[in-house]
Structure 1
Amino acid sequence: MAGTVLSVGIAFCTATLAASFVTAGAAAAFGQRMAGVADAAALAAADTASGAVTGIPCDRAAEVASAAGADIASCSLDGLVATVGIASSFLRLPASATARAGPPPS
């Protein structure tokens, strides 16, 4: 009987650890995805600000972010440099990322 209880306890601990590691891995992957979406949105805004693409820079960034399932939290332009912040949620927890794009400094 004691061996059965010990086996069940070990199985439960192993399952709990596995679920924790899977959740942590998924959160890390989601963070990388958010960074990529922020980069793409900032590049879209910078391209629009430079005239390479038509439209309004922050509107273009919002289109790119919404296509990836995120919302624009902030968008600012300093000349041709665009800084874009996006927001989303992972397992009902808020997540955000910020990126900057533009020509290299001279």
Structure 2
Amino acid sequence: MRPVRDAARDRGAATVWVVVVMAVLGVICGAVLAMAQVVVARHRAGGAADLAALAAADRWEEGSTGACAGAARVAQEQGARIVRCVVRGEISEVTATSRAGPFSATISSRAGPPTHDP
């Protein structure tokens, strides 16, 4: 004689597994979205720092104040803000920061004329 399987013992087991799998997928999706916000903040800060450094280097003749004011406007248009701006001669060094959600990124960039090694 075959033993009779108790059907009541297995009732609801699939529901528990579905809930566990959905919770794990929710955590994974949350982590992916957080990583995407970090990448957005980093790219926004990097692009703003590069463009602001170019803007400051282009306006070096106006002095540090004028060049950095132009760099700040460019960074603001990119959704970032200038943390540091230094203009020495034709070379500018700019540090920009940007936020995306709870995350922020700070990137530095330098721009100026190319150097020629004889």
Which residue does 1:63 correspond to in 2? Answer: 73
CA contact (8 A) 2:44 2:98 kept: no
**Equivalent residue runs for 1:1-106 within 5 Å:** 1-49=12-60, 56-106=66-116
Within 2, Cα distance between the matches of 1:88 and 1:32? 9
Within 2, Cα distance between the matches of 1:67 and 1:29? 16
CA contact (8 A) 2:44 2:78 kept: no
TM (norm. structure 2) is: 0.78
Gaps (5+ residues) in structure 1?
A: none
TM (norm. structure 1) is: 0.86
List 4+ stretches of structure 1 deviating above 3 A. none
Q: 1:74/1:56 Cα in 2 relative to 1: closer, same or farther (>3 Å)?
A: same
Computing the radius of gyration from Cα coordinates, the structure with the larger value is 2
Q: Over the residues paired in the alignment, what is the CA RMSD in angstroms?
A: 1.8
Q: How much identity, in percent, do the aligned residues show? A: 32
Residue range with higher mean Cα deviation, 22-31 or 85-94: 85-94
